[in-house]
Amino acid sequence: MEQMLDQKAGEKAAAKPEKTRHGSEETPLEAFASICGVLVLGLFALTFIFQNFAIPSSSMEKTLLVGDHVLVDRITLAPPTHWAPFVHYRNVQRGDIIVFFKPTVEPNGEHLYLVKRVVGRPGDHIHLVNGTVYLNGVAQNEPQVQVATEPYEYRDDFPAVPPPALSDVTAEWALDLPNHIQNGDLVVPPGYYFVMGDNRPNSLDSRYWGFVPRQNIVGRPLFVYWSFVTPENQYERTGLADHAGFIGHIILHFFDQTRWRRTFHLVK
């Protein structure tokens, strides 16, 4: 009997390590659940915290180049919430570069994302003289701004010069503009912002379609995570063949036409 008990005890002792070893291994179901958890967290972050955008035009050169891909912070400039008091929120400031929905809808019914720099906050008085911005009566030093080589009165002496009959100024803004002018200054109304591109001669901005409502602001770009040499009119090529052709171009020239120096370039 003792021999039989000793034999059974030995069998149990030998079986124990094997059971422990098998118990530490992850089952396929557990692995699948882990992957799903990571995907859900990643999707949540890309939907509610961060978002990626590609720069399609030269309106912000040389701060942002055509073909820059930026990561946008959707939280900092969002309206504060009571359920997340630990999150850092702040008001939109002058000089912030913001991503927002264009206030006017495109002819095809599309809402465009734009990126510009905030020049005026609610209550600010703004006018331009020969392309120089005067904010609340003070001429602004803007070293990042690309100046025009050829004068254009409406663009450079805004809002003193009325919009031309045939121009890029929207009809709605041409009618509404005089309502916001006081003593030669454009006054930014409550809840709105006046924005402009850094490449002033090549930027269709608040001078052409008006103020940006606070609720249209999506976030602010943090850094460039990838930059690829891209034609400025590439975003206008919407055909399937154009998309396929450009993807093939990227595959062939990924290494020699990626702007490696702009990787992780901070946007400011």
Report if residue 201 sits inside a domain.
yes
Report if residue 235 sits inside a domain.
yes
Q: What is the pLDDT along the chain (268 residues), one digit of tens a residue?
A: 444 444 444 444 444 444 444 445 667 665 655 565 554 555 544 555 778 999 999 999 999 999 999 999 999 998 766 655 656 779 999 999 999 999 998 777 778 999 999 999 999 999 999 999 999 999 999 999 998 888 899 999 999 999 998 899 999 999 999 999 999 999 999 999 999 999 999 999 999 999 999 999 999 999 999 999 999 888 888 889 988 999 999 999 999 999 999 999 999 9
Give the SS3 label for residue 166: coil
Report if residue 19 sits inside a domain.
no
C-alpha–C-alpha distance, residues 227 and 109, integer Å:
29
Number of domains in the chain: 1
The sign of the CA dihedral 103, 181, 122, 117 is positive
Report if residue 254 sits inside a domain.
yes
Report if residue 14 sits inside a domain.
no
Residue count (the chain): 268
b vs e for 220-253, b when ≥16 Cβ sit within 10 Å of the residue's Cβ?
bbbbbebbbebebebeeeeeeeeeeeeeebeeee
Residue 9, both tokens: 């005890």
Q: Could you confirm whether 116 is annotated as catalytic? A: yes
Report if residue 155 sits inside a domain.
yes
The active-site residue, picked from 59, 203, 206, 227, is 59
Q: Could you confirm whether 34 is annotated as catalytic? A: no
Phi, psi of 168 (to 5 degrees): -85, 0
Cβ burial of 211 (10 Å; 0-12, 13-18, 19+) is buried
Residue 220 belongs to domain with CATH number:
2.10.109.10
Which residues, 6+ apart, have CB-to-CB distance to 18 below 8 Å? Answer: none
Neighbouring-strand partners of residue 199: 146
The DSSP annotation for 2-50 comes to HHHHHHHHHHHHHHHHHHHHHHTSPPHHHHHHHHHHHHHHHHHIIIIIE
Report if residue 94 sits inside a domain.
yes
Which residues, 6+ apart, have CB-to-CB distance to 207 below 8 Å? Answer: 154, 155, 158, 169, 196
Sequence letter at residue 109: G
Q: Which domain holds residue 121?
A: 43-266
Give the SS3 label for residue 130: coil
The active-site residue, picked from 116, 203, 206, 227, is 116
